[in-house]
Amino acid sequence: MSRLFSAYVIVDWSAAAKPATGADSVWIGVLKRDVRFRMSFEAHNPATRQEAEKVLVGVLDDLKKRGERALLGFDFPLGFPRGFADALKLPGEAPWRAVWDQIDKMVKDKADNTNNRFGVGSELNRRMTGGPFPFWGCPPKDALTTLQPKRTRAHGPDDLPEFRHADQAAKGAASIWKLYYNGSVGGQALLGIPAIRRLKAARGDAVRVWPFETGFKALSEADLDGVEAVVAEVYPSLLKIKASPGEVKDLVQVRETAEHFARLDEAGKLAPLFAVPPGADQDVADAADREEGWILGAGHG
């Protein structure tokens, strides 16, 4: 079996409110063939999300010229827990796309990284529950009636789920409702989804989002005909990566995650990871396919 991809681009996103480099900032790892056709790694550490988008555009343009297809992995959720689109009364038959469109309309992310993610979380809470739930987490100075620094209550049986099925399969993944503090993937998702949406808008069907646009299935070369990049959610913590003293953990994670998927692809073991995990119920598969998304490799042992 031939490789599905010839390049592996892993993005460690950030919700930082000001320009930043080094630890806890945006890192982009690119594993691709060099002039001697050997796999070679390079890293980028742009100070802002807008600069990161420009880097990604440049990387994808270069790969397109070379006729190489990329796996483009982002380390934040690409979808929200089941029922989110309905709770917001969003129209359309594709809940994930309705949510992406809504978030893109609401998010303001400026060139200097200042952004309104807490205001967006507050407004989404207001529309869903009228109170500070389910989104939570912000600096005390940004607290609002419908968004509080700490979680105000636990999720009950009549609430939206705290976790997606993929988060539970990954055993330890954070809840997307958390917008601030360590491990706050919610802020990254609110600021990252519009960036992916812009990449897609510029490239059309040449960029496909898994599993929403590819199907939740093992991918083949025929499935990816004409595709330049497949966007997938990745979770480096699945790999138990450890940085050596003096190394930036984020850099190590994007490098080792890219190398991990490249090794699987070379061995013909990557394609099956795009399929529904063994033993998953049909309702789990349907929720992932329509609105929640999935973490590449989660639930596959």
Supply the pLDDT for residue 34. 80
- Enclosing H/E stretch for 251: helix 249-266
Average pLDDT over residues 143-169: 97
pLDDT one-digit tens code per residue, 1-23:
589 999 999 999 999 999 999 99
Supply the pLDDT for residue 101. 98
Region of 251 (left: φ > 0; alpha: ψ -120 to 50; beta: rest) is: alpha
Is 151's pLDDT higher than 70? yes
Average pLDDT over residues 233-260: 94
CA distances from 246 to 7, 28, 55, 258 (A): 27, 19, 25, 21
Is 276's pLDDT higher than 70? yes
Average pLDDT, the chain: 96
pLDDT band per the 50, 70, 90 thresholds, residue 106: very high
Is 37's pLDDT higher than 90? no
Q: Which is nearest to 251 in space by CA: 75, 132, 92, 128?
A: 75
Q: Which tokens is 163 given?
A: 């976790």
Supply the pLDDT for residue 205. 95
Average pLDDT over residues 147-158: 97
pLDDT one-digit tens code per residue, 193-210:
999 999 999 999 999 999
Contact 15, 30 (CB under 8 A): no
Peptide bond preceding 161: is omega within 30 degrees of 0, i.e. cis?
no
Contacts of 257 (CB under 8 A, 6+ apart): 10, 29, 73, 234, 236, 239, 241
Residue 34 or residue 65, greater confidence: 65
- Enclosing H/E stretch for 70: strand 70-74
Supply the pLDDT for residue 1. 58
Supply the pLDDT for residue 289. 97
Average pLDDT over residues 138-153: 97
pLDDT one-digit tens code per residue, 54-102:
999 999 999 999 999 999 999 999 999 999 999 999 999 999 999 999 9
